[in-house]
Amino acid sequence: MDGVTTAGVRATARIEAGDDGRGGTSLPVLEGQGPLALRRVRGGGSEARVMLVGAMSGPLGGDHLTVEARVGPGARLRGGSAAATIALPGQTKGEARYDVRLDVADGGELCWLPEQLISAGGSELSVSVRVGLMGGARLVLREEQVLGRVGEEPGRLTSRLTVRRDGRPLLDQELACGPGAPGGWDGPAVLAGHRALGQLIVVRPEFEREMPAARPFGEYAALTPLAGPAVLVTALAPDALLLRRVLDNALGDLT
Amino acid sequence: MSRAALLVLADGRFPAGGHAHSGGAEAAVRAGRITGAASLEDFCRGRLHTSGLVSAALAAAAALGADPVALDAAADARTPSPALRVAARRLGRQLVRAARATWPCTELDALARQFPKGAHQPVVLGVAARAAGLGPEDAAYCSVYECVSGPASATVRLLSLDPFDATAALARLAPELDVVAHAAADAARRALADGVETLPAASAPLLEIGAEAHAAWPVRLFAS
């Protein structure tokens, strides 16, 4: 890592997953840095499993963390995190950035299921998740945001999720909330007081032939087929536990 | 540019079918999230800064001459709800018909040919503004205004809300409409250089979720 400076921490973690030629997945690159430590954990079948372990608290204001994962043809990678990520205010002014770049080749599969991101009071964090898929790639990606720890007002959080498939946009969504966010974010059109929100995107080439139908999951969640072989589940909930239950149910329905 | 042309395009009576859509207000009223003028204003504010900004930026980019096909794909990616994509295309098809009759031009003809089922309405709005000799700010203003005036007039009908109260809510939002319209036009100019994927993508989860619930109702007053 470049080190801890007054400007905050700069760190990048890299994962590369490839077909090992024996029906499994190898990890030719598995490099953590600073607060981003990576561990390979026991996987099931042909998939490799990687756990992101937070080695320092944060991101704090001024930090810039990047996680990059590339999944090659025929490889299967499951990524998770050992605990929730908590955005906290830093000693330096300014926002923290957390960038995630995920690329999956034809015949590759990525399940990216990190734990929640918690936006603690006074924090400022900008998250960007960019996914690039080849046409034959498969993806399950979950994002969960919790606005504030228990009984706490949230920090400022901006989160953008962009998924491209064969270079074409498949999903592009940004959410801004907390103090200083554009007006109405907590109102009747956007979050209506909910403090946990999540998105689950599932991309499968076979959806080209048969797309799941749109359906609600209660009053505050829905599964929606996108304009491509993918579905998005959007969910709001009072807390992280109830949110996870909705997203798990929706994923269970799809598999 | 003709200021009167802007009034023609922005007029709620412009025959493009917008009156049949509530902009998510019908679902929000049923769910008890809009109950009066104050919650209507907050609903409109949230819509303005999310899907309103996105639509206005798409319209402004189209008015600047960005590729409508790329803009339409960007609109799809920013609209996860299939019910909202269908509504946007239906409105786009109606608007292209009205605009071709009003400001005949080859760009609108080409748009109608490229998208027989309709392009996303903001893209058509931008091309129509261009055909009317208007600029990106004008297109963005039309877009942000209809983003809030639609739910306001729908709520007057749905809740028997006093029309004076609904109009006063719109007037209170006016300074924010200015901010969003200019931000949208600025974003559109940047997108000409940096690509349409840099356009705003602000989302409103409850508008998407509510639109799907609404589309499943057997009986409803508004199409979306």
Q: What is the ipTM of this complex?
A: 0.96
User: What pLDDT, on the 0 to 100 scale, is given for residue B1?
Assistant: 67
User: What pLDDT, on the 0 to 100 scale, is given for residue A92?
Assistant: 74
User: Distance of alpha carbon A74 from its chain centroid, rounded?
Assistant: 22
Determine the residue type at B155.
Answer: T
In tens, the pLDDT along A93-121 reads 789 999 999 999 999 999 999 999 999 99
Asked, for residue A143, whether it belongs to a domain, the answer is yes
3-state helix, strand, coil in chain A (%, to 5): 5, 55, 40
Asked, for residue A209, whether it belongs to a domain, the answer is no
Nearest residue of chain B to residue A198 (CA atoms): B205
The CA-based dihedral angle spanning residues A236, B224, A163, B44, taken in that order and rounded to the nearest 10 degrees: -60
Asked if A236 and B209 come within 8 Å (Cβ–Cβ), the reply is: yes
A104 with A17: CB under 8 angstroms? Answer: no
Give B-chain residues touching A168 at CB under 8 angstroms. 73
Query: B130: distance to nearest CA of chain A, Å?
Result: 25
Q: CA–CA separation, B63 vs B124, rounded Å?
A: 9
Residue linked to tokens 């690329």? A103
Please tell me what DSSP assigns to residue A205. Answer: G
Q: CA–CA separation, A166 vs A189, rounded Å?
A: 33
* R_g (Cα) of chain A, nearest Å: 18
Asked, for residue A205, whether it belongs to a domain, the answer is no
Please tell me what DSSP assigns to residue A84. Answer: -
* Whether residue B136 has a cis bond before it, omega within 30° of 0: no
Q: What's the number of domains chain A is made of?
A: 1
Nearest to A54 by CA among A91, A15, A21, A80: A80
In tens, the pLDDT along A158-173 reads 999 999 999 999 999 9
- Closest CB from B46, B53, B213 relative to A216: B213
- Interface membership of B82 toward A (CB under 8 Å): yes
Q: Which residues of A24-43 are buried (b: 16+ CB within 10 A; e: fewer)?
A: ebbbeebebbbbbbbeeeeb
Q: Which domains does chain B have, with CATH numbers?
A: 3-11+18-215 (1.10.4190.10)
Which two three-digit tokens encode residue B68?
């409508």
* R_g (Cα) of chain B, nearest Å: 16
- Interface membership of A52 toward B (CB under 8 Å): no
Asked if A234 and B47 come within 8 Å (Cβ–Cβ), the reply is: no
Q: CA–CA separation, A84 vs A100, rounded Å?
A: 16
Q: What angle do CA B31, B36, B38 make, to 5 degrees?
A: 110
Asked, for residue A249, whether it belongs to a domain, the answer is no
Longest dimension (CA), chain A: 54
Angstrom distances, CA of residue B189 to CA of A111, B67, B131, B196: 37, 13, 18, 10
Strands A109-113 and A76-81: parallel
Q: What is the pLDDT along chain B (224 residues), one digit of tens a residue?
A: 688 999 999 988 888 888 899 999 999 999 999 999 999 999 999 999 999 999 999 999 999 999 999 999 999 999 999 999 999 999 999 999 999 999 999 999 999 999 999 999 999 999 999 999 999 999 999 999 999 999 999 999 999 999 999 999 999 999 999 999 999 999 999 999 999 999 999 999 999 999 999 999 999 999 99
Q: How confident is the model at residue A91 (pLDDT cuts 50, 70, 90)?
A: confident
- Closest CB from B34, B48, B80 relative to A171: B80
- Measured between its terminal Cα atoms, the distance across chain A in Å is 40
Q: CA–CA separation, B19 vs B16, rounded Å?
A: 8
Q: CA–CA separation, B125 vs A119, rounded Å?
A: 38
φ, ψ at A234 (rounded to 5°): -110, 130
Determine the residue type at A193.
Answer: G
Asked if B46 and A184 come within 8 Å (Cβ–Cβ), the reply is: yes
Q: Which residues contact B180 (CB under 8 A, 6 or more apart)?
A: B48, B49, B52, B53, B56, B140, B144
Which two three-digit tokens encode residue A94?
């300014």
Which two three-digit tokens encode residue B196?
């349409």
Question: How many Cβ pairs closer than 8 A exist between chain A and B?
Answer: 133
Q: Which domain holds residue A36?
A: 11-159+171-197
Asked, for residue A76, whether it belongs to a domain, the answer is yes
Does residue A1 surpass a pLDDT of 50? no
Asked if B80 and A175 come within 8 Å (Cβ–Cβ), the reply is: no
User: Distance of alpha carbon A250 from its chain centroid, rounded?
Assistant: 17
Asked if A171 and B202 come within 8 Å (Cβ–Cβ), the reply is: no
Nearest residue of chain A to residue B199 (CA atoms): A172
Asked, for residue A130, whether it belongs to a domain, the answer is yes
Asked, for residue A254, whether it belongs to a domain, the answer is no
The SS3 assignment for A178 reads coil
Q: Which of residues 6-25 of B touch A (CB under 8 A)?
A: 24
Q: CA–CA separation, B100 vs B131, rounded Å?
A: 9
Asked if B206 and A192 come within 8 Å (Cβ–Cβ), the reply is: yes
Give B-chain residues touching A234 at CB under 8 angstroms. 80, 205, 208-209
Q: CA–CA separation, B27 vs B207, rounded Å?
A: 9
Give B-chain residues touching A184 at CB under 8 angstroms. 42-50
- Closest CB from A174, A183, A216 relative to B201: A174
Q: CA–CA separation, A111 vs B102, rounded Å?
A: 51
Burial (CB count <10 Å: 0-12, 13-18, 19+), residue B19: middle
The SS3 assignment for A126 reads strand
Does residue A56 surpass a pLDDT of 80? no
Nearest to A95 by CA among A130, A129, A120, A59: A59
φ, ψ at B11 (rounded to 5°): -60, 130
